[in-house]
A = this chain, B = another copy of it.
Amino acid sequence: MKISNYRIDLESVVDEVKKQGYNLIGVQIPEGLKIHGLRIIDFLHNSTGKDFVLNVDPCFGACDIPYNSLKEIGVDLIIHIGHLPISSVVKKTSLPILFIEAKADLKLEKTVEASIPFLVGSKVGVITTAQHIHVLEEIVEIIESNGLKVVIGEGDNRISQKGLILGCNFSAATSISDDVDCFLFVGSGDFHPLGLLFNTKKPVVAADPYTGRVRVDELLDLKDMILKQRYGAIAMCRHAKRFGILLGLKPGQQRFDLAVEIKKKLEEIGKEAYLLSMDEFSPSKLLGLEKIDCFVSTACPRIAIDDYLRYKIPMITPAELDILLGLRKWSDYVFDQITEF
């Protein structure tokens, strides 16, 4: 079924629901497609006769599937649209989850062609997000037809397909960064290409298939700006005495061991550290905790970076804490990642 600019294989969902005899199905749709949610539910209900519950909590990844509560209300299948499975999340529940891609239906050729002149060296690592992973082969062909060699990296266990990047995991790029001269990121937004710049230390070309824009220098400017912001955030914590270690409760964001490790690390040098848990992060939830001088977030790595301006008390990532504590050099600044081995 074509929904906006995406192809979503709802027909296979219908087949699976009929075949397995599911009766109450929970549906998660990415924020950008929520406006089409009722149409999707109508199609699924009319094609199967079964009951569907649309979950309207915002959902930015496969890390965020409320299988426990959906199970409690009687859901016997979850349909998760738009993200690829994260194995550790799937393992935590007995409820079946059907991951259905939302495949961006775009003509990529021109955009990829336009990126060619900016690619450095002869070996290119190509990486993309879930909505474009189905055209990875097509991207490779275009680049190779221009005489370049393409390398597609295997990620760690959090990454279900070769060449896939998540906001919290760049392992399909870092695993091959020694083997390539540069990276081509196909997708939109700043976060992923910035993560590639920081964590692979290689030149990065970002090609946005929605707008056709290809960016290289603008990314470097953004990188400088982010570094300044992060320098500011870390500097604000220089005299911090009390640390709040934020633990995300979403199934794919729980890093309890890391949080405890950080707590010990801080206590060993005479700091006070508190473990604070939260489901959806929001600045208002931290009101009343103004005694804390610095938050260290172990949940989604994007929160500290993307929501920088929303939090009054500085929030840093575990990697940034290491810089603060002198355990990591500024020159080795990296975005935080949630890895799985």
Contacts and interface: CB of A to CB of B under 8 A. Distances in A.
Interface of A: 26, 31, 34-35, 37-38, 41, 51-58, 66, 68-70, 72-74, 92, 242, 247, 249-251, 254, 256, 260, 274-280, 284-289, 291-292
Contacts of A249: 55, 57, 66, 69-70, 72-73
A126 B250 CA distance: 42
A35 B292 CA distance: 11
Given A57-B278, A249-B66, A278-B56, A34 B256 contact: no
Contact of A51 (B73, B275, B291): B275
Given A51-B260, A53-B276, 12 more contacts: A31-B288, A34-B287, A34-B289, A38-B292, A51-B275, A53-B247, A53-B275, A54-B277, A55-B277, A56-B278, A57-B279, A68-B69
Contacts of A26: 277
A38 B289 contact: yes
A35 to B, nearest CB: 4
B38 A279 contact: no
B279 A279 contact: yes
B288 A35 contact: yes
Contacts of A277: 26, 53-57, 69-70, 73
A94 to B, nearest CB: 13
Contact of A256 (B74, B284, B286): B74
Contacts of A56: 276-278, 285-286, 289
23 contacts: A26-B277, A34-B289, A35-B289, A37-B288, A38-B242, A38-B274, A38-B291, A38-B292, A41-B274, A52-B275, A54-B275, A55-B277, A55-B278, A56-B276, A56-B285, A56-B286, A57-B249, A57-B279, A66-B249, A69-B250, A69-B254, A279-B280, A280-B280
